[in-house]
Amino acid sequence: MTMQSFLSVQNLNAFYGDFQALFDVSFSLEVGQTIAIIGSNGAGKSTLLHALLGQVSKTTTAATFDGLDLNHAKTPEIVGHGISLVPEGRHLFKSCTVLENLELGASAKRSGDWNLSSILELFPELDQFLDRNSMDISGGQQQMVAIGRALMANPSLILFDELSLGLAPVVINRIYDSIPAIKSKGTSLIIVEQDIYRAQEAADYVFCLLEGHIALEGPPDKLDDEMITRAYFGDAT
């Protein structure tokens, strides 16, 4: 069965004022697929996610998501159409409880399998903290809340920005263990990750950004350590 390509980006260029952060980035994502984006700090990984959400200035030859023209859509429309972001640093609402943060994710009012009950099934650790302020739980638990908040919007595509950054190994394992359950609902994923091996394990397809350009791409089993190292540090040929 041929998979349906529902995110397609051609020749994406992204800018912060006069500074160009991405150069002619092209890729596509299939329904249910996971793409991992690797690269060093400043490579353009987070910028790519924000460009998809309409949060930075950009130009493209064409960019569509599930029938929506991303060239002309604003961020609220893009989110309402089914893209959610788990931002770097989590960005929970500091004055809100864990429950309130989760419920804010449902404001998109999209129907689907994700609700408070299914979030707590995915992350049962959060059940005992629902009434606690979101700043009074651990970093790993905050990351679970951030993921849960994004899922409460019932997205068809979820963007993870630096999924494992700053987390203890045991927490990283717990977060990555949740990915199969998320994918089982038909959700596609784009994971920005500095941990190359985690990215390869989780993804169906990987590409490496270097100074805003795609330096290497392919299925993870076709990319060996030498190829990735050369692309990551700027020696790709």
For residues 185-210, one letter each, b for 16 or more C-beta atoms within 10 angstroms of the residue's C-beta and e for the rest, the string is: eebbbbbbbbbbebbbebbbbbbbbb
- The full set of domains in the chain, from first to last, is 5-92+156-233 (3.40.50.300)
pLDDT of residue 86: 95
Least Cα distance to 220 among 7, 80, 33 occurs for 33
CA dihedral 163, 198, 54, 156 (to 10 degrees): -90
Least Cα distance to 206 among 178, 186, 185, 227 occurs for 227
Residue position matching structure tokens 């359950």: 181
Question: Kind of pairing, strands 19-30 and 188-192?
Answer: unpaired
d(CA 97, CA 127): 12
pLDDT of residue 2: 40
d(CA 38, CA 190): 11
**What percentage of the chain reaches a pLDDT higher than 70?**
97
Q: Which pTM does this prediction carry? A: 0.92
pLDDT value at 237 more than 50: no
d(CA 10, CA 28): 8
d(CA 222, CA 228): 10
Q: What is the DSSP string of 125-153?
A: GGGGGTTSBGGGS-HHHHHHHHHHHHHTT
pLDDT per residue as tens digits for the range 51-75: 999 999 999 999 999 999 999 999 9
pLDDT of residue 91: 87
pLDDT of residue 140: 93
- One-letter amino acid for residue 19 of the chain: F
Q: How many CB atoms lie within 10 A of CB 114?
A: 23
d(CA 132, CA 125): 13
Mean pLDDT (whole number) for 133-140: 94
pLDDT of residue 84: 95
d(CA 151, CA 145): 10
**What percentage of the chain reaches a pLDDT higher than 90?**
83
Q: For all residues of the chain together, what is the average pLDDT?
A: 92
pLDDT per residue as tens digits for the range 26-48: 999 999 999 999 999 899 999 99
Q: What is the DSSP string of 48-77?
A: HHHHHTT-SEEE-SEEEETTEETTT--HHH
pLDDT of residue 171: 92
d(CA 119, CA 59): 36
